[in-house]
Structure 1
């Protein structure tokens, strides 16, 4: 579970992150990251988007819980002040947490270590 300090809550913050942030994807997730969103002393904040294409309400909530747990375990390894939005793709509905973990790790490592685009 993400503590309230680690939640990206407002639609404006989510929209800004998806529009201005860097993007990377895999077969199951698409991630948007803004490394310079706030001060480096601020906590990492995350939001999750799981649309109807993923499945019915039960499936969407299951996928969201899995993604939330995976990201919560990785917050300490990310730079402070970072905003993250994870969008679940339809293939994520058929994956377990263990199968989603490499995809989440892959996109986060690409976005948090690669140099920014000009």
Structure 2
């Protein structure tokens, strides 16, 4: 489980990140990235709609995405807010495919910190 400091919990935060963040699309996920102050912990949020499948499938996908984000934190992800939206095909995707897509999004140039005040 991600620590409270590493979770996006506010609906307003989700809205801002999805609307104003950089979008990185993959085959099974769409990641939205928004820079924060450098030196702050990375925060992650997940959107897994009913189009992905039953509750069991959605929770499996969410747990896999959380695991990838936990790994990214261990590798030193800092200064960025990330919302990962699972597409309907994510339920059939292998863990390695989801991992590759999320880590690729985190390494994208869109994750470069913005100037303060944005």
In the superposition, the TM-score normalised over structure 1's length comes to 0.87
- The equivalent of 2:47 in structure 1 is 49
Q: How does 1:58-69 map to 2 (within 5 A)?
A: 58-69=56-67
**Any stretches of 5+ residues in structure 1 without a counterpart?**
none
Distance in 2 between residues matched to 1:90 and 1:41, nearest whole Å = 34
Give 1:18 deviation, angstroms: 0.3
Secondary structure of the corresponding residue to residue 19 of structure 1:
helix
The worse-fitting range, judged by mean Cα deviation, of 39-48 and 61-70 is 39-48
Is 2:26 the partner of 1:40?
no
**Any stretches of 5+ residues in structure 2 without a counterpart?**
none
Give 1:33 deviation, angstroms: 0.5
Kept in 2: contact 1:22–1:33 (CA 8 A):
yes
Secondary structure of the corresponding residue to residue 68 of structure 1:
helix
- The equivalent of 1:98 in structure 2 is 96
Secondary structure of the corresponding residue to residue 43 of structure 1:
coil
In the superposition, the TM-score normalised over structure 2's length comes to 0.87
Give 1:41 deviation, angstroms: 2.7
Kept in 1: contact 2:7–2:44 (CA 8 A):
yes
What's the CA shift string for 1:22-67, capped at 9, x where partnerless? Answer: 00110000000101x3x22321111000001100110000000000
Let me know the Cα RMSD of the aligned residues. Answer: 2.0
Quick one: which of 62, 70, 74 aligns to 2:68? 70
What's the CA shift string for 1:93-115, capped at 9, x where partnerless? Answer: 001212211111222222325x9
Secondary structure of the corresponding residue to residue 78 of structure 1:
coil
